[in-house]
Amino acid sequence: MEGGCMCGAVRYRLRSAPYDAGWCHCRTCQLNSGSPAMAFATVPIGDFVFTLGEHLVGSVASSDFGHRRFCTRCGTPFLMQVDHQPETVDFSIATLDTPDAVVPGFHIFYASRIGWAEAGDALPRHDRFRPDTRGL
């Protein structure tokens, strides 16, 4: 699978099929995206490869245990990495060329949701992290 940013300066490729797809309603995702929630999926860190414009990819500390990478030209958020899961990255599903192909299976940080952004599905909803989150 391939993906990229709004302006087209940055492109990436996944070397393996993503897993653990889900919605995150935390405040950081709301501010990072300007939207009520973000949908992420996971791949091993070596399987997310920038194929164009990697020098334009910025990094920002998004918490004291993680950072996020984004296109410095247009702002599209690509991925986040957290210290307790150094072997994987969580990328934003919406940046895939075929986002329909990766379907979220749960909601996390649902307690932080914006009131008018109630999920319209029957997926499991966790107030914060999932109980089985690796590294916690």
Could you list the residues that contact Zn ion (CB under 5 A)?
A: 5, 7, 9, 24, 26, 29, 71, 73-74
Q: What minimum distance in Å lies between the beta carbon of 133 and Zn ion? A: 12
- Tokens matching residue 1: 């699978």
Q: Which is nearer to Zn ion, 9 or 94 (CB)?
A: 9
Q: CB of 27: closest distance to Zn ion in angstroms?
A: 8
DSSP string spanning 24-81?
E--HHHHHHHTSS-EEEEEEEGGGEEEEE-GGGEEEEEEETTEEEEEETTT--EEEEE
Give whichever of 71 and 79 is closer to Zn ion, judged by the CB atom. 71
CB closer to Zn ion out of 47 and 73: 73
